[in-house]
Amino acid sequence: MASTKSFNYFAFGSNLLSKRIHMESPTAVRKGFGYIENYSLDFFHFAARWRGAPATIVENEGYKVWGAIWEIESINLTGLDRQEGVHNQVYKPLTLPVYTSEGGTLECRVYQLVKNPPKADFTEPDRPFERQPSKTYLDVILRGAKETGLPVDYTDFLSTIKHNGHTGDPKFEIDLAVQD
């Protein structure tokens, strides 16, 4: 449980990866993983840094989005909001119940695009170009999902998402370089 000096944050995109979240939130401590109900993962908008569409959550009855649960000290909230583009009205913060892998529920901060796409009416192979993440961004999400220990069927689903083939900002990509 987060104290008044900290908050719980649910990450489903690039902040699944510890190296990425620690860039703006050095106090972040992974507390486990969980899912939000009645949302599906989608991609929309264009992020110049990533050269593709960033992740968002879309209300969608019967679906789940899995992610990492981080506890972050409140002193990092401004940096996290800035990273998510709240000041530029790219993402908006929500507070949603997250069902933990242990069977409990935590209220967590989560970010959703302000201009969210309509519910998907296509199958993954048919994902239109404007709703495709870059290869770099998708790689960071997949690495983070594995690092977090998300269920294999969910990481398998993530690996089927079509990317646009672009790599991200070279300076940013170096910071997150694969160290396998």
Catalytic residues: 84
What is the spatial distance between Cα 18 and Cα 9, in angstroms, rounded to a whole number?
13
Picking from 13, 26, 46, the residue whose alpha carbon sits closest to that of residue 137 is: 13
Q: What letter does residue 56 receive in the DSSP assignment?
A: E
Question: In Å, how far are 23, 29, 116, 137, 153 from 177, measured between CA atoms?
Answer: 13, 21, 29, 12, 25
DSSP 4: T
